[in-house]
Amino acid sequence: MSTQRPYSGFCERVHALRRKYQLSVEQLALLVGIEPKHLYRMEEGILSPEVDAYHLLRLTEVFHVSSEELLRGTSSASAYDPTDRIRKPKESPTA
């Protein structure tokens, strides 16, 4: 039986991305708007992540990833392209 917590993947991804972008716990906490001790404890698995929508959005902006990639570790970029829903302007006929 596995003792891995269901949120551990999220915590590991936050930690890995923070290291990739060479940010300290304090720097990332300041950018996201949370207490550094909360971020540290979350990364270490000491407490479960309590991330609201605002802070999740801030994490995705800082790391340039989708929320799905951050939460689940999967990218939906190939499955869904938000620009598909934007109507393209009709080209004017040239004479």
Residues 6 or more apart from 44 whose CB is under 8 A from it? Answer: 11
Model confidence band, residue 76 (pLDDT cutoffs 50, 70, 90): low
More confident residue, 14 or 92: 14
Rounded-to-integer distance, Cα 55 and Cα 38, Å: 12
Q: What is the pLDDT of residues 36-61, one digit of tens each?
A: 998 898 888 776 667 778 888 999 99
Phi/psi region, residue 68 (left: phi>0; alpha: psi -120 to 50; beta: rest), is alpha
More confident residue, 69 or 83: 69
Predicted confidence (pLDDT) at residue 85 exceeds the cutoff of 80: no
Rounded-to-integer distance, Cα 36 and Cα 41, Å: 9
The residue ranges of DSSP E strands in 1-95, in sequence order, are none
